[in-house]
Chains A and B, each alone.
Chain A
Amino acid sequence: MPVFPVEPLTAAAAQILVAAGTPVDIARSVAGWLAGADLAGHASHGLMRVPWYVQDIQTGQIRPAERPAITRETETTVVVDGHAGFGFLAAAAVTERVAAKAQRAGVAAGAVVRGNHIGRLGAWAELAAERGVVFWLTYGGPQYFNVVPFGGARGRLATNPMTFAAPAGGTDPMIVDFATSAVAAGKIWVARDKGHGVPAEWIVDKHGRPTTKTADYFKGGALRTAGGHKGYALSLMVELLSANLTATATDAQSPLGVFALGIDPNAFGAGPAYAAATRATFQRMRSTPPAEGFNEVQIPGDYERRSRATIQATGIAMPEPTWQAILDCATSLGLEARAIERLARGE
C-alpha cells in the first residue's frame, strides 16, 4: 500500500481540484479538510473522495468557484447559502458565525442551505471547540433513503449524522460524531469487497428481515438504525432540524441541510465551574475499569487525536486501487500521472 507524506499528498489533491476548475484557495482548503479526515483515521471521508468531488463538479452538482454567503441574520440566528459550492466552505462559515454569535448572546443557531457534502462532521465540532464553544451540528434530509425506519421494510431515511463538541478549557475537548444508522453505508461495501458477512444489527433484506449477507443489502435491502427505535427517532430529529427547519427538504438539487447550535460555556454563569466539571466528567470516564476486550475507556475524540499524532508522523497510507483511481481522475483532467505521483511523494 503506497504511503504518502501528508503535505505533499494534500498539495497533489489540491492540484487535481484546480484542474477541475476550482480556484486555488478553495482547492487548498478542501484538500486540507479531506486530508484532515485521513489524519483523524477516517479514510472513508478523506482524500479517496477526490474523484467523487471531481465527478460532482463535472455533473454540475458542485460549482467549484462559488463561495458561501450569509442571507439572513439576527443576533442569535444565521442562514448560510452555500451557493451549491463545496459544502466544506459553508460548514466552516456557519460554524465560525454561530460560535461568534454564541459568545456574544449565550446561544446561537445556524443553517446551511444549498450546501453539498460537508465532509467529516467531527471537523466542525473540533473547529467550534477550538473557538471555545459547546457545539451541536446535524446533517441530513430526504435523499438516498438507504436506511430503514424501525419496523419498516424499505429505506426511507438517510444516515442523518450528528456531531457534538464539549470544550473543557485547557484540555482536549470531547468530540462526538456518529451516524444515526447502525453503521455508515461504506462499511457494507468494505465487508462485501472482503467477502465478509456483517452483524444482523446492521442491515435488512428487501423484506425488512435482519440479515448478515451483504448481498441482501445490494438487492433492495437497507441499513438499520442504531439501537432500533432509538436511532430511528434520532434520525427523524436530525432530518427535521437539518432539512425541514432550513427548507432544504424541498430543494431537489440539494435536499440535505445543516443545523448548527453554539453555546457559550458561560451562558448560565457557570463558566469556570463548567470547565472543571467537564474535566472531571472526562476523568470519570477514563478512569473506568475497562471491560473484557478493551484496554481502556476513552472519551469520544481520543481515537481521532491519536490517529492524527500517528499518521502525521507515518504519512497517509492509501490502498493501491484508491490511489490509482485518483491518478486516473488526474489523467482525465489532462494532468500527467507521473507528475502527480512525484508531487504526492514530495519528490
Chain B
Amino acid sequence: MAARASYNGDNRRGEVDFQILVDLHYAALYRFAMSLTRVESDACDLVQQTFLAWATKGHQLQDTSKVKSWLFTTLHRCFLESRRRSTRFPHLEISGAEGELPNVEPDQVNHLDAQDVLHLLSQVDEQFQAAVALFYLEDYSYNEIASILEIPLGTVKSRIARGLAQLKGLVLRKAAPGAKATGGTA
C-alpha cells in the first residue's frame, strides 16, 4: 500500500500523517478494542483515546516502523486504565493447559460469526482475552504480542493456550448444551 510506505519504510522519525495513520489502523484497533470491551461505544472511545495519545505522545516514538504496535499497546493500556485494575494477573505457565484441550469437530465451529466469537471470548477468563484476541486478529509473533501486552513471552503463550482451551470448551458447550468436552473443559 502506498500510504504505508510513507512511514513504514523509513525508520527515522518523521512526520506521520494523521489521516494515513487512521486509514491504516483504525479498523484493526477497533476490532481489538471490541474484543476487549464487547461494547461498540466503549470500543470507539478506546480507539479515540489511542489516537489522542498518539497526537500528544507519538512524537516520542523514534522508530516509526513500530507505530502499529505502539498504537495497540496504547489501546491496551487505555483499556486497563479504564478498568482500574488493582491486581496483577497471575503468571501462568503453559504446562497445565494440555489437560484442557477438548476436541472440537469442524461442523461445530463453521457457522460462528463475529457476534458469536465476541460472546464466546467474553466468557473466557478476562486475563486471557487480550492475548487470544491479538492471536487471532493480527498475525503478530508471540514476541510482538508480549511487547504489546507488556508481559513476558511465556505468559503470552500460557494465556493463549489456556484461552484457546477455554474457547474450545465453550464452542462445544454452545454446539451441544449438556455435552461434555472430551479432555475436560476449562
> Is this pair of chains taken from one and the same complex?
no
Q: Which residues of B contact A (CB under 8 A)?
A: none
Q: Which residues of A contact B (CB under 8 A)?
A: none
